[in-house]
Amino acid sequence: MRNNPHQIHIAIIYSALLLLPSFLTGCQPQKSASPSGELFPVFGIVLGQTDVEELKKMGEEDDGFYVIHGQKFWVHSGNVFKSMNLVRPRQLPLKWRNMGFDWFRSYDQWLELLEDLGYTITIVEAPHVEMFRGHESFTAEVKAINGTATVPTELNLDFKYSDKTTTSGEGTLYSIDIDIPDLETDKPSTNATVQTNQAEKQELPIHIKKQVSEIKAGGDSIVEADKKRIQKMKDELEKLKKEKAKLIAEGRKEDDEHIEMIDMRASALTKYIQMLEETNSELSGTLKQLDK
């Protein structure tokens, strides 16, 4: 992705498109850059269509799933990719993150986003509070289906294990399961075939040029937004460190579980900060190349 600094090599353009899709048309977390909510293809992989032979070319197989770009693509039975499971703080694909997917969204913000993206939402488990490791924790489960997308997709969002207790609390989502929906019961169309014809292939260069133009126009605001988010998380991490130091200094046995939860939260924050910093650095480098 780093070639002659005085030229924009075609490989840079394609790499930039892979890393920076529709996010460039709207980088605010409450807004969608893709009203259709199309999650696939991602990394060239399509739910319900990409077969095992293609997956083998892209990643390593391990007991029914293939690890590709840090994500687990499950096959289960048969020979076609059928589902994914993402657990916080596993990095979300940039294509989805650019659509607004973010582990630090609140329950309310997730519902708003999915509605904006065209998903039909079912509350599987209504929001409530449960006890987890000695403290109250927000709990809920949501199913969201986009049956009218080119690739119909079902999301199952599981909210639990956080230290927040309300629907507005940030970072309450624990995991996302992605599956092929049963459209006979959840409707609408049963035709989920992605058709790529010659006309679409001929239009690709125009699409690339348009995306590159959007990358240049929106890149700086994306980088700055991520910097602010990183700083906010670093501030929270610093508060956690001070809180832990205070509890240790007080030396009360009943605070041991609280300290353990602080360590878990700090570890998740540290990993997420590292991921964002790496992504932001790569994004900045790509934008500098595209500016030349």
Q: Residue 274: its pLDDT value, please?
A: 80
Q: Where are the domains positioned within the chain?
A: 32-194, 209-291
Query: Range with the lowest mean pLDDT among 40-54, 137-151, 200-214?
Result: 200-214
Phi then psi dihedrals of residue 193, to 5 deg: -80, 130
Q: Residue 218: its pLDDT value, please?
A: 66
Return the bridge partners of 139, or none.
128
- Which of 7-21, 212-226, 268-282 ranks highest by mean pLDDT? 268-282
Q: Could you report the per-residue pLDDT of 111-124, keeping only the tens digit for each?
A: 999 999 999 999 99
Q: List the one residue out of 152, 154, 151, 147 whose CA is nearest residue 176.
A: 154
Q: Could you report the per-residue pLDDT of 222-275, keeping only the tens digit for each?
A: 778 778 888 888 888 898 889 889 888 888 888 888 888 888 888 887 877 887
pLDDT average, residue stretch 19-29? 39
Residue 203: count other Cβ atoms within 10 Å of its Cβ.
Answer: 10
In this prediction the pTM is 0.53
- Order of strands across the sheet that contains 135-146: 60-62, 65-68, 71-74, 83-87, 173-179, 153-159, 135-146, 120-132
